[in-house]
Amino acid sequence: MSRLVHHSKLIFYRISSIATSRNGRFLSTGPDKSSGLNDSAKTDKVEEAETVEVPPPPTEKLLVLGGNGFVGSHICKEALNRGLTVASLSRSGRSSVQESWANSVIWHQGNLFSTDSWKDVLKGVTSIISCVGGFGSNSEMYKINGTANINAIRAASEEGVKRFVYISAADFGVVNYLLNGYYEGKRAAETELLTRYPYGGVILRPGFIHGTRHVGSMKLPLSVIGSPLEMVLQHAKPLIQVPLVGPLLTPPVSVNAVAKVAVRAATDPVFPPGIVDVYGILRYSQQR
């Protein structure tokens, strides 16, 4: 709502500016019959009376949970490029990446399992993107993909954060059975998000994400495999309907595409809430 008001003020400002530049003065809203002033005096009077409200600078503040990870760091970079104020929260804090954009992120250290260690970080935050997830035993996977994110979603909605985007994962057929803690955790967090954020919650379900992943001082160019696979498999959509093995043909998506769509979903008030699958991520990422 506040964005709508802000937007209409902006339109009003632009119309006023156009009127000003075309006529060399601000337009009056009606004739001044009572004053009896001549034309030039009237013009001066109108100029004095008109107040143009200049829109305030953007106040969007994005918090990236896991902003020092593979997907999270690309999201931080994308959000900074869009002029947002960006903060990150993770157990180890600042990213080890030695790139200039990292100096513009506000890095916080905290663990999603102990809400007290990071609740203050939510002050002034307008939207959140969670990239927290991981692998391990089934119970560990449930906790990190599910419980940790459920804690974050609850704390965010209690603090009044407007939008929440969760990086989940596409179903992988037979793989779901092998990694059931991972997928059960993901789906539990999704359910919590849809319940707490029926209008401002977005779930992205990518398959394999490719791009350059930093592992210590090494850079892993995952796109060497991911990019050609993406080109071929994005046209094989009907095959993923084949039970159990079909989902293995889910096309990979680039980390830049995921970052672009996540930031848009977190900041665009008309981005539709709900689940965005791989094909949706590919489609939205091609829009400007």
Ligand X SMILES: NC(=O)c1ccc[n+]([C@@H]2O[C@H](COP(=O)([O-])OP(=O)(O)OC[C@H]3O[C@@H](n4cnc5c(N)ncnc54)[C@H](OP(=O)(O)O)[C@@H]3O)[C@@H](O)[C@H]2O)c1
Residues at the interface with ligand X (CB under 6 A) = 66, 68-72, 90-92, 111-113, 131-134, 144, 148, 167, 169, 206, 208-209
Q: How far is the CB of 89 from ligand X (least distance, A)?
A: 6
224/22 Cα distance (integer angstroms) = 55
Q: How far is the CB of 111 from ligand X (least distance, A)?
A: 5
Report the residue number, 133 or 181, with the smaller CB distance to ligand X.
133
Q: How far is the CB of 157 from ligand X (least distance, A)?
A: 18
The two three-digit tokens of residue 110, written as one number: 């905290």
Q: How far is the CB of 102 from ligand X (least distance, A)?
A: 13
Report the residue number, 50 or 171, with the smaller CB distance to ligand X.
171
Which amino acid belongs to residue 118?
W
Q: How far is the CB of 66 from ligand X (least distance, A)?
A: 3
Report the residue number, 84 or 258, with the smaller CB distance to ligand X.
258
Q: How far is the CB of 195 from ligand X (least distance, A)?
A: 19
Report the residue number, 102 or 144, with the smaller CB distance to ligand X.
144
Report the residue number, 26 or 182, with the smaller CB distance to ligand X.
182
Q: How far is the CB of 131 from ligand X (least distance, A)?
A: 4
Report the residue number, 26 or 68, with the smaller CB distance to ligand X.
68
Query: Using CA atoms in the order 36, 38, 43, 47, what is the torsion angle rounded to 10 degrees?
Result: -50
- Do 158 and 234 touch, CB atoms closer than 8 A? no
Report the residue number, 181 or 273, with the smaller CB distance to ligand X.
181
